[in-house]
Structure 1
C-alpha cells in the first residue's frame, strides 16, 4: 500500500504544526511552495493565517491556478481557519471592491471572515464530530470564520454548541464540513498537541483515494 504524500501550503500560518501532525498520523508530509512540489503530492493542507495575504502569496508564488486546477480535478484537501476561507466558494467580505480574498472554489460553502470577532475574542471548546470516534475534539478558534451557507452536497460534521455567552454566534458557526475529498474546519486542530484525530481523518481520505486509483 502506497503511503500518502501530503503537502502543506507553506506560505504562512501553522505549517510546521500541520507537518508534524500529518507525520504522526501516518503520512509523509512536505511543505509546498512551488508548482512542481504541488504536482507531486496526493493531498494538500491549507493552513491558517491571513486569507487576504494568502491570496496575494498564491499569486506571487504562481500557485493559485495550479492549485485551483488540481482541486477541480479531485485533489483531496483540508483547510483550517483561513484554509477554510480559501477552499470556499464564496467569501462574505464586508463589501470590499475588489474582494480582498479570491477563494479556490473547492467547497460549496459561503463563509464569513473573522466572524467570531477580533483576536481577543478567540476561544476554545469541545466539539463532537460525526465520523471521529473517542469523544469530543478540543477546538481552538482564533479570529475564526463561520459558515453562512452550505450546498446540497456538503456534509456538516460538527457545529459549535449553543452560545452560553449570548455573543450572537449563529448555529452554523464553527462547522467542520466535508464535500467529497475536501475537508475544512474553522478551528485549529494542529494547535492541540497529542490529538491528531482530525488529521488522521484527512489522511484516511487521501489513502482511500490512493487505494481506489491503484485498483483502477
Structure 2
C-alpha cells in the first residue's frame, strides 16, 4: 500500500492526482493519493509531489501555513519528492530569474541544482518537444514546457536523466526527482511510475 501526497496550494494539483492514480493502476500498486495543505497532511505519506504553478505563491503560502519547514524536514529525513516546473524551483538550492536577476522567495533548498526562472522568455512561453529519457525506455516522452525554468547547473550528486538543447530537464538526487516540464499534462504516466517505483524501493 502506497500513500502519495500532492501539495495542494496552487497549480496542476488535480492533474498530478489523476496521473498518480493511473500510474498506480498501471504498476498494479494498491495505493491512495491525498491533498497536502498543512503539515499534518504529511503524516503517513510514502512520497509527495510538488506541482507546477507559481513557485512564489506556493512557497509563500506553504511557509505561512508551516508546511514549508515541515516538508523540508520530511524530505531531509528521506521522504521521496517529485517537483515539476514550479515544484522543481522550490526544491532547488539556488534560484534566480532570467529577466530580473536575484529573487527573494521561500525555497526548500534540498536539491543541489541552480535554476533560472522564466528561462525561455516570452517568445517560447509554451512549447512541446519529444524527449529521450533512457530510464523510461526507447519510446520518446512528450515534454510540455510552459513558462519553463531551466536547470543551469547540477552538483556532483545529481544524476541527469534527460536534456533539451544541452540543459538538464529531468534530474534525480537520491529520492528527489525534478522536471522543468509538465509530465502530468500528457497522459503518459511513465515518469510518475518511475517516481512511485523509487518511493516503493525506499
1:20 aligns with 2:18: yes
1:159 aligns with 2:163: yes
| Larger CA Rg, structure 1 vs 2 | 1
Deviations 1:66-99 (A, max 9, x none): 0111111111000000010001111013344xx3
1:4 aligns with 2:2: yes
Any stretches of 5+ residues in structure 2 without a counterpart?
25-30
Q: How far did 1:191 drift?
A: 0.4
Change (3 A) 1:146 1:120: closer
Change (3 A) 1:119 1:187: farther
After superposition, residues 82-121 of structure 1 pair within 5 angstroms as: 82-93=86-97, 94-96=100-102, 99-118=103-122, 121=125
Contact persistence 1:119–1:142 (CA under 8 A): no
Q: Which residue number in structure 1 is paired with residue 174 of structure 2?
A: 180
Q: Which residue number in structure 2 is paired with residue 203 of structure 1?
A: 196
TM-score by length of 1: 0.86
What is the number of residues matched between the two proteins? 194
1:71 aligns with 2:75: yes
Deviations 1:1-50 (A, max 9, x none): xx211100000011001001101111421110011111221111000001
Q: Which residue number in structure 1 is paired with residue 28 of structure 2?
A: none
1:41 aligns with 2:35: no
Q: How far did 1:121 drift?
A: 2.4
Contact persistence 2:85–2:149 (CA under 8 A): yes
After superposition, residues 139-158 of structure 1 pair within 5 angstroms as: 139-158=143-162
Q: How far did 1:134 drift?
A: 4.3
Contact persistence 2:125–2:148 (CA under 8 A): no
Q: Which residue number in structure 2 is paired with residue 61 of structure 1?
A: 65
TM-score by length of 2: 0.91
Q: How far did 1:54 drift?
A: 1.2
Deviations 1:159-178 (A, max 9, x none): 11x4xxxxxxxx21x51000
Change (3 A) 1:119 1:82: farther
For residues 204 and 44 of structure 1, the distance between their equivalents in structure 2, rounded to whole angstroms, comes to 13
Contact persistence 1:119–1:143 (CA under 8 A): no
Contact persistence 1:176–1:186 (CA under 8 A): yes
